[in-house]
Amino acid sequence: DKQKLIRNFSIIAHIDHGKSTLADRLIEFTGALDKREMKEQILDNLEVERKHGITVKAQTARLEYEKDGQKYILNMIDTPGHVDFGYEVSKSLKACEGCLLVVDATQGVEAQTIANAYLAIDNDLELIPVINKIDLPSADIEKTKSEIEDALGIDAKESIEISAKSGLNIDKVVDAIIDRIPPPKGENNAPLRALVVDSWYDNYRGVVFIVRVFDGELKVGDKILVYSTKKEYDVEELGFFTPKSKKTDKLSTGEVGYVIANIKNIQDATVGDTITLAKNPTDRPFEGFQKPKPFVFAGLYPLNPEDYDDLAEALEKLQLNDASLTVEKEKSESLGFGFRCGFLGVLSMNITRERLEGEFGLDVVMTTPSVLYKVELTNGETIEISNPSELPQPTKIKAIYEPMVETEIITPAEFVGNIIKLLQDKRGQQKEILYIATDRVLIKYKVPLAEILVDFYDKLKSLSRGYASFDYEFSGFEASDLTKLIILINSKEIDSFSLIVPKEKAYRIAREVLKNLKQYIPKQLFEVRLQAKVGGKIIAKETIGALRKDVLAKCYGGDITRKKKLLEKQKEGKKKLKQLGNVGISKEAFIKLVEIK
Ligand code: GDP
Ligand code: MG
């Protein structure tokens, strides 16, 4: 049985603990690429694209290694980059029988170490702890081991101590992959059952996706069926990454490889979906498949209205590669024409904004992000709201439900008090507090997602002088006492400033928003009244005094017609600003204001 010689594994780690470095060392050690080729790998990828080949994703690689006269296939499966809510990571771990849990010996266990390890444990994977960076003088191997045991409840006696940088003990890692991770146990003769582990859009080939074949066999020319959509496609090309791409004519039970099947839309091959054969489909699709569903929403507007079409085009391009990104046209009275975009989470939202600015060179105004609310109406209907300005009248609402997340925070013990205060302030519910070492603590809380959208991470970092690490996972909707906060400028409602806020905090948030507004709206030629309204009542006010601009002072003694003209111009300007309805706040000021919130 060919499967006996296959090992499917992932590498999981907290950021910067050495996952990529270890992956490179494994590729090098098994001889897939030599040192020079390693360096050229990135360049190669570009070259491949130029030759209309397919984009190679680094770090998903089929490595071959001979041990005791047997030739093993080691499939290193990269977990997708999107880590919001861990769904995709969890699905790609499902494709493995084991994983390497890399922990930096100078840092110890961190929040993502725990979040990822839980996902691996949930998927019944063989977990091999790998303690990295032991070449550094500040490495504390014993402490790291005891943190692994206390935080994760797994035995760290069998952990492997390495330096991914120098290559020390990489051979032991490879031995452990072969000796400790079980081979796949699929059925060769059963109908094809393959799991989509990752997918992306290639400019020349369309959607490329990686599958793990659990049962049966997939051949070039087969007609496949995507389980969730019931759509059928012809398989044009199959292959492996070594990490160079290598074509093959079939993928057998237990194997991992890429598939190209003339799929145009990434929504049609998303992580976690089941691939089977059209003529003999499996009746056992993988459980727990979810269509990528956005949880976080924000309005995106071009800074310059002329850039609207460019922004539309850029968002369309980004959607090709992000199945969870939703884009809808939106018109805001205050900001003009733009888009309401939905993201899987905060991370994807920030990545999208950065890419719009970095890759597409667009200046974008982003409104304060909002979560998705479920609103139960008095007429029995339940609607979903992603734009606070769309929340119905309070009399029509029976209950509002908001998304919750479970957070894991790891911090030096001295900051625990401060962090708990922050979590309480964020309407958190305490779940667990655990010492994983005498001086390091794991804090678990349930918190409304809305509370961690904007400034939570920054606050956490500054409260802990940068030492706390943080991860979160979606955990359902809960009813909360929420209300709409409306901001008015000179009695006019500014739609893009509406917020959905907890009633208990409405007053405080209203005061803060107005204070920020006051700071960022420059003085106008007339008085600017700022008001915050909740449930029909004004709960906070600020006034920005008028700028006393004596335009006539400039032209003392000048001729009378010039004076007249100036006066007229000033009047006109006043009118125009008022007509704009936003008291002539420059868009730049809008951005500043929105960003500060
Ligand atoms: P990742 O975020 O987990 O992929 O981490 P990287 O592999 O990018 O490594 C983060 C940083 O740690 C890089 O600067 C690496 O060069 C460094 N690094 C990784 N492994 C080692 C190691 O064993 N020893 C030392 N000294 N540095 C390492
Ligand atoms: Mg990396």
Q: Count other C-beta atoms under 10 Å from residue 263's C-beta.
A: 23
Q: Which of the residue ranges 131-140, 299-308, 354-363 has the most confident prediction, judged by mean pLDDT?
A: 131-140
The more confident residue out of 490 and 139 is 139
Residue with tokens 């199945």: 323
Residue-wise pLDDT tens digits, 222-234:
999 999 999 999 9
Q: Which residues are annotated as a binding site?
A: 16-21, 132-135
Q: Which residues are annotated as a binding site for GTP?
A: 16-21, 132-135
pLDDT bin (cut points 50, 70, 90) of residue 333 is confident
Nearest to residue 94, comparing CAs of 77, 82, 111?
77
Q: Count other C-beta atoms under 10 Å from residue 247's C-beta.
A: 12
Q: Which one-letter amino acid corresponds to residue 5?
A: L
Q: Count other C-beta atoms under 10 Å from residue 384's C-beta.
A: 10
Q: Residue 231 has what pLDDT?
A: 97
Percent of the chain with pLDDT over 70: 86
Residue nearest to atom 11 of ligand 1 (CA): 16
Closest atom of ligand 1 relative to the 23 alpha carbon: 7
Burial class (CB in 10 A: 0-12, 13-18, 19+), 261: buried
Q: Alpha carbon 575 to chain centroid distance?
A: 44
Residue-wise pLDDT tens digits, 168-187:
999 999 999 999 999 999 99
Nearest to residue 84, comparing CAs of 560, 449, 581?
449
- Strand locations in 203-287 (E): 206-215, 218-219, 223-226, 231-234, 237-241, 245-248, 250-251, 256-260, 274-277
16 Cα–ligand 1 center, Å = 6
Q: Is the CB of 17 under 6 A from ligand 1?
A: yes
Q: Residue 47 has what pLDDT?
A: 53
Mean pLDDT of all residues belonging to the chain:
86
Ligand 1 binding pocket mutation candidate from 16, 28, 162, 166 (most atoms within 8 A of CB): 16
Q: Is the CB of 551 under 6 A from ligand 1?
A: no
Q: How far apart are CA 566 and CA 472, in angstroms?
A: 59
For helices 416-425 and 456-463, give the axis angle rounded to 10 degrees: 160
Per-residue tokens: 32: 């897939």
Q: Is the CB of 440 under 6 A from ligand 1?
A: no
| pLDDT > 50? residue 188 | yes
The strand pairing partners of 193, in sequence order, are: 215
In a 3-state reduction of DSSP, which class is residue 182? coil
Residue-wise pLDDT tens digits, 528-580:
889 999 988 999 999 988 876 665 555 555 566 666 666 665 555 443 332 33
Query: What ipTM was reported for this prediction?
Result: 0.99
